[in-house]
Amino acid sequence: MADQLDSEERFVCWYAMSEAFVDNEVDYDAIGHTLVESCPSYSDMQLKEIFFSEVAPVVGGNVFGAAGVWTGFDPTWLRKEISERLRKRQESSVEFVRTSFGNLCSKVFLRTFWKDIEAAIARKRAELGISSP
């Protein structure tokens, strides 16, 4: 499981999804394109889980801040933060409970962001004539 969590494909998913949280106009079609083209081994359900349990808890707060990130998150920082959060979650039952609460908050407060990404993924899959793996 750790190999999959640290894979380049997974990182591409993280970075593409993080673009939904920049404090600027979001290009959901570009996000959908990247997820379909560059993350082909993940199903729609897996992408949704990655969004809510890995990406949104780390960068979702950016949309609520007055002076958020405008031009995209630093890729090195993003990888480090998400990887560290996942590592702590696996090593500690307290962190597991804490991060589970964070994941639930993400699902409540950030679901409209996922809906827009999900629609973009569906459009791209339809355009290419492919279904979710």
Q: What is the pLDDT of residues 34-70, one digit of tens each?
A: 999 999 999 999 999 999 999 999 998 787 776 666 7
| pLDDT (0 to 100) of residue 111 | 87
Q: What value does the CA radius of gyration of the chain take, rounded to a whole number of Å? A: 14
**Residue 118, C-beta contacts closer than 8 angstroms, at least 6 positions apart:** 44, 48
| pLDDT (0 to 100) of residue 2 | 36
**Residue 28, C-beta contacts closer than 8 angstroms, at least 6 positions apart:** 20, 116, 117, 119, 120
| pLDDT (0 to 100) of residue 1 | 36
Question: Which residues, given as ranges, of the chain have pLDDT below 50?
Answer: 1-3
| pLDDT (0 to 100) of residue 74 | 94
| pLDDT (0 to 100) of residue 70 | 73
CA 12 to chain centre: 9
